[in-house]
Amino acid sequence: MEVGHIPVMAEEVMSMLAPAPGGLHIDATLGGGGHTERILEATHPDGRLLGLDADGAAIARVDRRLQPRYGDRLILRRANFRELATIAPAAGFGAVDGALFDLGLSSFQLADTDRGFGFRAGGPLDMRFDADRGVPAFELLATLDAAELTALFRRYGEEPRAGRIARAIVEARRIAPITTAEELAALVERVAPPDPRKPRRVHPATRTFQALRIAVNEELDALQEGLAGALDLLRPGGRLVVVSYHSLEDRIVKRFFAAERRGCVCPPEIPVCVCGRNPRLRLVTRPSMTPTAAEIEANPRARSARLRAAERLAA
């Protein structure tokens, strides 16, 4: 494993995904390749895995590290997981035994000084997973008005002081544009400092950075599409495993699993089902799983992780 990369909830992911020799799997969020490596080991000798990532640097890094060992058992594609429904069949993964979504940023992305994902590493406020698509974060900060920024921070960051932060950004950019992670983090810390009476666990700018990253990459819409695509690809008995890191993601996963477990979408006032939808998932985790205290101590970035898993029914 490369220095600095620790896959989150690796043992729980493997237990819930339950890969077996010869299986076909999808890692929809390749990242540092930690989960991919374990899945390939568990499916030895002839299991194959399709790894997706919108970040070209992640694809190149995993290709260098794992391709020499696993050869044509590992197929890599630079793509967002919202494209799974078309990418996977074209790569020979039209029916699979399991799919994994680990929705967190990788250690490499957080340390990337060229894209500004993290306020500790700093760098230009880009935040795009795929640098060839979309609008960088600094453009949103330069063009959205105070009301639009407030709505963005509230919706995607659940930031209680969204209005104060948005107004401060609009005021600051009248003098000079906010173009770096350091500048934005300092501004948020100045206008919305942490409560000195409470223990400080996270930086005051965490929610603001989360909101911008989600907006830039359309993450919530992509997650809905990716989950739907993965479910359609699963064989009966195949597992869908998702690790999320904040309530917005987890809510989408929880509702998706609940809807596919229920099947019927008829209004409650209709006494007999007329939609004909059958349940397609069985919950494997109930309730969701969280990291152990030992893992959080060893890898503090895992502290907010929540794992949900479900199994494809024959319907």
Q: What is the pLDDT of residues 241-270, one digit of tens each?
A: 999 999 999 999 999 999 999 887 777 788
The alpha helices in the chain, defined as continuous H runs, are 10-17, 34-42, 56-70, 84-90, 107-110, 137-143, 146-157, 162-173, 181-191, 206-217, 219-233, 247-262, 293-298
For the stretch 167-176, pLDDT in tens is 999 999 999 9
pLDDT band at 3 (very low <50, low <70, confident <90, very high): very low
Looking at every residue in the chain, the average pLDDT score rounds to 91
pLDDT digits (tens, 9 = 90+) for 77-90: 999 999 999 999 99
pTM for the full predicted model? 0.90
Q: How far apart are the first and last CA of the chain?
A: 39
List the strands of the sheet with 24-27, edge to edge: 74-78, 48-53, 24-27, 96-102, 234-244, 306-312, 281-283
pLDDT digits over 18-67, tens only? 999 999 999 999 999 999 999 999 999 999 999 999 989 899 999 999 99
With vertex at residue 301, the alpha carbon angle to CA 298 and CA 305, rounded to the nearest 5 degrees, is 105
pLDDT tens across 170-219, in order? 999 999 999 999 999 999 999 998 877 666 667 899 999 999 999 999 99
Of 27-41, 57-71, 106-120, 127-141, minimum mean pLDDT range: 106-120
What domains can be seen in the chain, in order of their start residue?
10-105+221-312 (3.40.50.150), 109-217 (1.10.150.170)
Q: What is the pLDDT of residue 121?
A: 63
